[in-house]
Amino acid sequence: MTKNYKYYEFVLVAFVAVLLCSNLIGPAKIAQLDLPWVGSVTFGAGVLFFPISYLFGDILTEVYGYGRDRRAVWAGFGALFFASVMAYVVVHLPAAPFWQDRQPAIESVFGSTWRIVLASLVAFWVGSFANSFVLARLKVKTAGRHLWMRTIGSTFVGEFFDSALFYTIAFWGVMTTEQLITVTLTLTQYVLKTGWEVLATPLTYLIVNFLKRAENEDHFDRDTDFSPFSLKT
């Protein structure tokens, strides 16, 4: 019998909403901040918000289990795919005569190349599943202790795969192998994304503890089929 939850759908929708907004709105602007002791730091604005999707992924896996997070990842993947198709169609539709002067702005914001779109989709899919798998396995290994270690550790792994795959797919042949490795390991975005998880740890604890009490659920993936291609919960 499938258990009914009060808040699962809300967390899932929040996960997909953050994912869509960070991928559609965030890349439209490159920001620069002058930080003490660091200097000028340049980054895509979406980096400030994309890590929140990993926070929701951690919460889903920790409370509801890998299977229900897997469904959320597929929902997010489907939403991103549709958004990419819609953006392509919108950009390539013939512009009305009075809209011609605005067309370059639309192309600049939504006109990603097929390689960038493919890189984003693959990187999100693999990174999210890596994050969920590591957290689920660590939860069993640690008997549910050290949540901070599990969320931060899984995010480091997931974000590494996300960054590595995105830059490899998007820029293979444009950058040398050495440059790709250097960019993946030292990228400002990677540091910002993983740093976000560290800073958000107190909030993660608050949400996880609230949901575990409210849902009367604390799932352990002891006998879970970790295939990413299943939709079983």
pTM score, two decimals?
A: 0.89
Q: Quick check: 13 and 28 in contact, CB under 8 A?
A: no
Distance CA 45, CA 55 (A): 18
Q: Which is higher by pLDDT, 217 or 185?
A: 217
Residue 125 confidence (pLDDT): 96
pLDDT single digits (tens) 2-53: 788 999 999 999 999 999 988 887 766 777 778 788 777 766 677 778 889 9
Tell me the per-residue pLDDT of 203-217, one tens digit each, with 9 for 90 and over: 999 999 999 999 999
Assess contact for 150 and 137: CB atoms under 8 A: no
Domain range list for the chain: 8-94+101-215
Q: What is the pLDDT of residues 141-168, one digit of tens each?
A: 999 999 999 999 999 999 889 888 888 8
Q: How far apart are CA 131 and CA 193, in angstroms?
A: 13
Over residues 84-103, the mean pLDDT reads: 92
Domain 8-94+101-215, what fold? Arp2/3 complex 21 kDa subunit ARPC3 (1.10.1760)
Collapsed DSSP state (helix, strand, coil) of residue 1: coil
Max CA pair span of the chain: 64
